[in-house]
Chain A
Amino acid sequence: DARVTQTPRHKVTEMGQEVTMRCQPILGHNTVFWYRQTMMQGLELLAYFRNRAPLDDSGMPKDRFSAEMPDATLATLKIQPSEPRDSAVYFCASGPTSGDTQYFGPGTRLTVL
């Protein structure tokens, strides 16, 4: 049963620290998405990739957030420096090349103190 995996599942850090979240998409999926979920804003798309190339990162605060895909099996989302307002659940999702369904990982719950 292929699944998207995310690490860590929970992260507590202090303001100003760097945070790195990792995602392993489903093997063979060529599109990868990063979402942020908060009570106030709901689910927001931060960035997405196709074939490891960033296609849209307009939802991401550019000054502190960065997203990369070092290889086809790993996507990373970094926050540097982190701020309390970044506290949220961050989801990674992957999908096949032609679009279609996005498959979500379990999320990383980030708390910035």
Chain B
Amino acid sequence: QSVLTQPPSVSGAPGQRVTISCTGTSSNIGADYDVHWYQQLPGAAPKLLIYPNNNRPSAVPDRFSRSKSGTSASLAITGLQAEDEADYYCQSYDTSLSGYVFGTGTKVIIL
């Protein structure tokens, strides 16, 4: 059972904007720890989406952006494309668990 909660799925039509929330507590996101985001395409390994300085790996388009406030974080995808259909995970650190934790994961569905 993860301490970072994400919606099981979000959906949108091509070209639309979707956001994925990652809700934590005062022992992880609320403790001002960074939140990182990963995309996992079907049958593939996870891939980092955004570096801590908000730069993106070379293959990641600038349609992906992140934000954080209080005990929650969000990943926004603008201009949805078919290739964005994948699972997305947030990741942070939890002081109570003394370890790194991942979110429950969100499947993005392109309508």
A and B bound? Answer: no
